Amino acid sequence: MSTLNLSVLQQPLVWMDGEANLRFFDALLADLHDRDLIVLPEMFTTGFAMEAAKNSLPETRVIQWLREKARETDAMVGGSAAIQTEQGAVNRFLLVDPDGKVHRYDKRHLFRMADEHHHYLAGERREVVEWRGWRILPQVCYDLRFPVFSRNQNDYDLALYVANWPAARASHWQALLLARAIENQAYIAGCNRVGSDGNQHHYSGDSRVIGPQGDILAEGESHQPVILHAELSLEKLQEYREKFPAWRDADAFSF
């Protein structure tokens, strides 16, 4: 598919109440039609908390819900959730398609300023998901600050950043999303929550969808719940990358 119809849900989250959050997103997704990809925030079942995995819904429940939403909307649906595994807790980005296939990416860079690295296990590798002709790189919040990890090696067309990024550093969020788009010559979608959490951290959202030349295709009003919609063109992306092939001069990195 040459176009991708994307929706980004900039929304508040109910603190540490998985079923309440699922009911909230049930209502929002019921009104979404003709989408290819629907993105929810980081830890969309709990809000960002160090104790979230011990109090969160089981992964099987979250996947069951995502499968239902993907089937109902005929779109890939995803966001990250705090998941307790046999090895330990992870901040896991789950993407599920209408056929029920599950894609997983565990957050690589853990936010040490909140001691996330003491409560969660870091992911060992990045993942690229193929969907309707698009190559999609899922990333989570703090990953945004580490450009080498998300360096486009001509292996993705769209990067997704889901977040609980505090309003105090909103300017960093906006600047880094823009940089990731330009330097990687790729579409970027940043989905950040709004509202306040149980630790009294405040979130301004500032979600946005950015084109490969840094053009803002959609952006959410600060501090307001909103659903962003954007239509992405694979032809335009490929045409730009052929016309301005900066990617050919990129340094080679291995992970």
- Residue spans per domain, the chain: 3-247
Res. 255: pLDDT tops 90: no
What CA–CA distance (Å, rounded) separates 128 from 121?
20
pLDDT of residue 1: 56
Res. 151: pLDDT tops 90: yes
CATH number of 3-247: 3.60.110.10
Alpha helices in 30-169 (DSSP H): 52-55, 59-73, 116-119
pTM of the model: 0.97
The reply to whether 191 belongs to the active site is no
Of 42, 59, 116, 219, the active-site residue reads: 42
Of 69, 107, 116, 191, the active-site residue reads: 107
Res. 254: pLDDT tops 80: no
What integer best gives the mean pLDDT of the chain?
A: 97
The reply to whether 54 belongs to the active site is no
Strands 89-96, 102-106: parallel, antiparallel or unpaired by DSSP?
Answer: antiparallel
Q: State mean pLDDT over 85-96.
A: 97
The reply to whether 141 belongs to the active site is yes
Strands 194-196, 202-204: parallel, antiparallel or unpaired by DSSP?
Answer: antiparallel
pLDDT of residue 54: 87
What CA–CA distance (Å, rounded) separates 210 from 232?
10
Of 116, 141, 191, 219, the active-site residue reads: 141
pLDDT of residue 215: 98
Q: How many other CB atoms are there within 10 angstroms of residue 246's CB atom? A: 11
| Phi, psi at 27, each rounded to 5° | -65, -40
